[in-house]
Amino acid sequence: MKEIGVVQYGLGPIGQSITKLLSEKKDIEIAGAVDIDPKKIGQPLSVLTGKKELSRIKVTENLEDIQINNEIKVAIHTTGSYLKEVMPQLKEIANSGFHIISSCEELSYPWKEHQKFAREINDFAERNKISIVGTGINPGFLMDTLVITLTGLCQKISKIECKRMQDASERRLPFQKKIGTGLTLDEFQKKANSGSIRHVGFRESIWMIADSLNWNLDSINETTRPIIAKKRLKSKFLTVEKGLVAGINQTAIGTIKDSELIRLNLLAYLGCPYPKEEVSIEGFPKIQMEIKGGVNGDFGTTSIIVNSIPKIIDSKPGLHTMRDLPIPSALLGKKESL
């Protein structure tokens, strides 16, 4: 039996992709998988992941149905973006003695806007002697961890800007829908107003940066605007006629006394010609970083969650954020390393 046993809790596209990657890591054993979807319960994981070696593991409805005897127990939790919804799940998992790495966006930095939840999570983590972190590519890496790391080069900072430009054609269908692709302007506006079209996590990233720099922000303002197709656009899943919504332009700005200190900007739409990640730090010295071609969000989130396993099992019990863990690094099994 391997030292680390992992349960995948939530088998949406990201959960499936994580399970696949976990199955390739030499020091990790997949001990089980949980989902509430009746179509998935009872299915062997091999069907959901395409990995034959996972045929003996069947999806269960409840965590308690899983037999796990590994010395170190980790749950990868990928079910929802909002703490209010996932709190009972986190509590159940922690009470069963699992470390938790979660893609829940609000968990990535809950100490500002969800202090009550944060304290409760920290309490049940400490009580069960396990560690919990919320992470992913964004929030969790590109717009916070990486930005904060780069500020380590600076003596003075007056403003931080971070911009992601993504070609949504490369992403899965739920992502394309989440950014409003194919909607009319009216439909987009309604969904944006109701909050159903919105990337969750900007506020968490901004607070994480601000706290790292001891900036006491007065406010964070978010705006969500559509990007309109200037010609007919196509993805593997959708065709968007000229004049309809190609994607999203979302901005969040953190201010002190009306002066803008942190600006995060996400542009994700079909046909974005120059996908990239940018971090600009106005200060001394000035830093202008770019990742050419950008980083595919689904692949990146899968990586970061799996790569966080060694960090979280070595950390002291409690609720962590990427800010207090050691620097990220890739977890390469022997197969991957050469």
Pick 109 or 124: Cβ nearer its own copies: 109
Under the criterion CB under 8 A, does residue 218 sit at the interface with its own copies?
no
Nearest to 311 by CA among 286, 292, 297, 328: 328
Under the criterion CB under 8 A, does residue 307 sit at the interface with its own copies?
yes
Under the criterion CB under 8 A, does residue 64 sit at the interface with its own copies?
no
Q: Distance between CA 14 and CA 30 in Å, rounded?
A: 16
Among 60, 81, 149, 249, binds its own copies (CB under 8 A): 149
Pick 51 or 191: Cβ nearer its own copies: 51
Count of positions (residues) in the chain: 338
Under the criterion CB under 8 A, does residue 328 sit at the interface with its own copies?
yes
Under the criterion CB under 8 A, does residue 292 sit at the interface with its own copies?
yes
Check: CB of residue 159 under 8 Å from CB of residue 282: yes
Pick 69 or 155: Cβ nearer its own copies: 155
Nearest to 89 by CA among 79, 74, 99: 79
Nearest distance, CB of residue 143 and its own copies, angstroms: 13
Under the criterion CB under 8 A, does residue 313 sit at the interface with its own copies?
no
Residues 231-260 within binding reach of its own copies (CB under 8 A): 256, 259
Q: Measured over all CA atoms, what is the biggest interatomic distance in the chain, rounded to whole angstroms? A: 59
Nearest distance, CB of residue 88 and its own copies, angstroms: 30
Under the criterion CB under 8 A, does residue 302 sit at the interface with its own copies?
yes
Nearest distance, CB of residue 327 and its own copies, angstroms: 5
Residues pairing with 281 in the sheet: 160, 287
Check: CB of residue 311 under 8 Å from CB of residue 140: no
Q: Distance between CA 335 and CA 338 in Å, rounded?
A: 7
* DSSP labels, 170-227: GS-HHHHHHTTTT--HHHHHHHHHHTSS--TTHHHHHHHHHHHTT---SEEEEEEEEE
Among 41, 72, 157, 313, binds its own copies (CB under 8 A): 157
* DSSP labels, 57-89: -BEESSGGG-----SEEEEEE-S-S-HHHHHHH
Stretch that binds its own copies, among 31-39, 60-68, 79-87, 155-163 (CB under 8 A): 155-163
Strand 72-77 and strand 156-167: the pairing is unpaired
Nearest distance, CB of residue 259 and its own copies, angstroms: 7
Stretch that binds its own copies, among 52-60, 124-132, 227-235, 302-310 (CB under 8 A): 302-310
Under the criterion CB under 8 A, does residue 152 sit at the interface with its own copies?
yes
Q: Please work out the total of residues on this chain that contact its own copies, with binding judged by CB under 8 A.
A: 57
Binding site for its own copies (CB under 8 A): 21, 24, 137, 141, 145-146, 148-158, 212-215, 256, 259, 261, 283-293, 295-296, 299-300, 302-304, 306-307, 322-330, 332, 336-338
